[in-house]
Amino acid sequence: MSAQRCVNILGLGLIGGSIGVGLRERGWFVCGDDQDSSRVSLAFERGIIDAMGLRADADVTVVAAPVLAVPQLVQRALRETTGVVTDVGSVKSHIVAACDNPRFVGGHPMAGSELEGLDGADPNMFDGAVWVLTPSSTTADSSFSSAAAMAAELGAEVLALPADRHDQVVAVVSHVPHLTASTLMGLASERAEEHAVLLRMAAGGFRDMTRIASGHPAIWLDICAENREAITATLDGLIAGLSDMRNIVASGDRDALQERLRSAREARANLPVRGTHPTELAELRIPILDRPGAAAEIFTLAAELGVNVASFEVVHSVEGNRGITVLLVDATAVERYRGGLIARGFRPSVQSLS
């Protein structure tokens, strides 16, 4: 039986609370702290944490605070603890640049709730969700693997990505959709002054499209400040797309309209389904070379090649820092992945599990 693992949660809001209660239910010892001490007491009373305050020898410390507050809290965690430090901020480049340390790896669990604060804390919030980690060349293999193992234990699918790439992607799949929902809601609300019935006529599709406009504005101000460049570039792309669409409708170009609607429909239908796991798995054993960031590189390559990692483990050898990464991946993708790994200087061995 392995020793009980321990996590510090620094910031006891919706996400921090969910990680805390989720890991506690899975047998971890959970410590928690927050700048608001009444939250710490509340989390303790509700059984979300086992102990108040940080423990210096915790395996992992999770900084779960608004993006602008993250760098300072990561520095505090690096000072006060000896383990791995990760965060959950929705924009990563600035944070990763400000927290350059082998013990730190940036993170972004892509899940949430319409509830706020500890009231929304849910041990299964991350089940089937994507949890992005953004290791840099400074990140130690062991830091990356600890953070990835914690996310996987919460049921999340771990994706490793460079921080700047993460920020470009979330601008498209999260930040700009949010700003668009708000703009659409604003437009409808403006037109409702003229047409009193307008909001009563807002049926399911409109409700779906504007649901995310219910999010709390405060976090979005920080997100827009931190990811300004990618957001404005993506908004430019969307505005250009809508102008195109407008001209197609105005000119009555049926073929062009049909092609756009058809390809969007097809892309929507092909969105990956959450929480499905590949039916046939293959096992890859990859000796970790004696170079920094190897584990992160192995994961990043999987993400780039679209290879779903169902589970993984880092087995350390007795000779210090070297070890073997054991991954279970979709059997249909294993050859593609193996080729990519070899091209990058790894020496993977494959074993079919069927």
Binding mask 297-316 for its own copies (x = CB under 8 A): ------xxxx----------
**# residues contacting its own copies (CB under 8 A):** 97
By CB under 8 A, tell whether 336 contacts its own copies: no
Pick 50 or 122: Cβ nearer its own copies: 122
176 scored as a contact of its own copies (CB under 8 A) = yes
Q: H or E element: which one contains 44?
A: helix 37-45
Distance (Å, rounded) from C-alpha 81 to C-alpha 92? 22
Q: Two tokens at 153?
A: 């234990």
275 binding its own copies? (CB under 8 A): no
Helix (H) or strand (E) holding 52: strand 51-52
Residue 116 to residues 88, 146, 236, 254: CA-CA distances in angstroms? 16, 28, 32, 45
The reply to whether 181 sits near its own copies by the rule CB under 8 A is yes
In the list 6, 180, 298, 329, the residue contacting its own copies (rule: CB under 8 A) is: 180
The backbone region for 90, taken as left when phi is positive above 0, alpha when psi lies in -120 to 50, beta otherwise, is alpha
Q: Which is nearer to its own copies, 143 or 174 (CB)?
A: 174
From candidates 77, 125, 212, 329, binder to its own copies by CB under 8 A: 212
- Residue 319 C-alpha from the chain's centroid: 33
Which of the residues 29 through 88 are near its own copies (CB under 8 A)?
A: none
HSE of 128 in the Cβ direction (CA atoms, 13 Å)?
8
Residue closer to its own copies (CB basis): 191 or 344: 191
Encoded tokens for 279:
């039916």
Identify the residue among 200, 279, 318, 320 touching its own copies (CB under 8 A). 200
Task: Identify which of 30, 60, 26, 61 has the alpha carbon closest to the alpha carbon of residue 43.
Answer: 30
182 makes contact with its own copies (CB under 8 A):
yes
Q: Is 27 in the site for its own copies (CB under 8 A)?
A: no
Binding segment for its own copies among 26-34, 96-104, 249-257, 289-297 (CB under 8 A)? 249-257
Contact residue for its own copies among 208, 280, 313, 335 (CB under 8 A): 208
Q: Minimum Å distance from CB 216 to its own copies?
A: 8
8-state DSSP, 134 = E
Distance in angstroms (rounded) separating the CA atoms of residues 23 and 11: 15
Token readout for 10 is: 């620094």
Rounded least distance, CB 227 to its own copies, Å? 9
- Tokens 């609607």 appear where? 261
The distance of closest approach from Cβ of residue 25 to its own copies in the complex, given in angstroms and rounded to an integer, is: 22
> Cβ closer to its own copies: 84 or 230?
230
Give me the amino acid identity at 184: L
- Over its C-alpha atoms, the chain yields an Rg (Å, rounded) of 22
With beta carbons less than 8 A apart as the criterion, state whether 84 and 109 touch.
Answer: no
260 touches its own copies by CB under 8 A? yes
At closest approach, how far in Å is the CB of 247 from its own copies?
9
Residue ranges of alpha helices (H) inside 46-175 are: 70-80, 93-98, 141-153, 163-170
* Sites for its own copies among residues 115-134 (CB under 8 A): 129-130, 132
Q: How far is the CB of 75 from its own copies (least distance, A)?
A: 25
Nearest-approach distance from CB 138 to its own copies, in angstroms: 22
Lay out the site mask for its own copies across 146-165 (x = CB under 8 A, - = otherwise): -----------x-x-x---x
Which of residues 79 and 200 has its CB atom nearest to its own copies in the complex? 200
Residue 257 near residue 248, CB atoms below 8 Å: yes
Q: According to the binding rule CB under 8 A, does residue 220 interact with its own copies?
A: yes
CA distance 224 to 108: 16
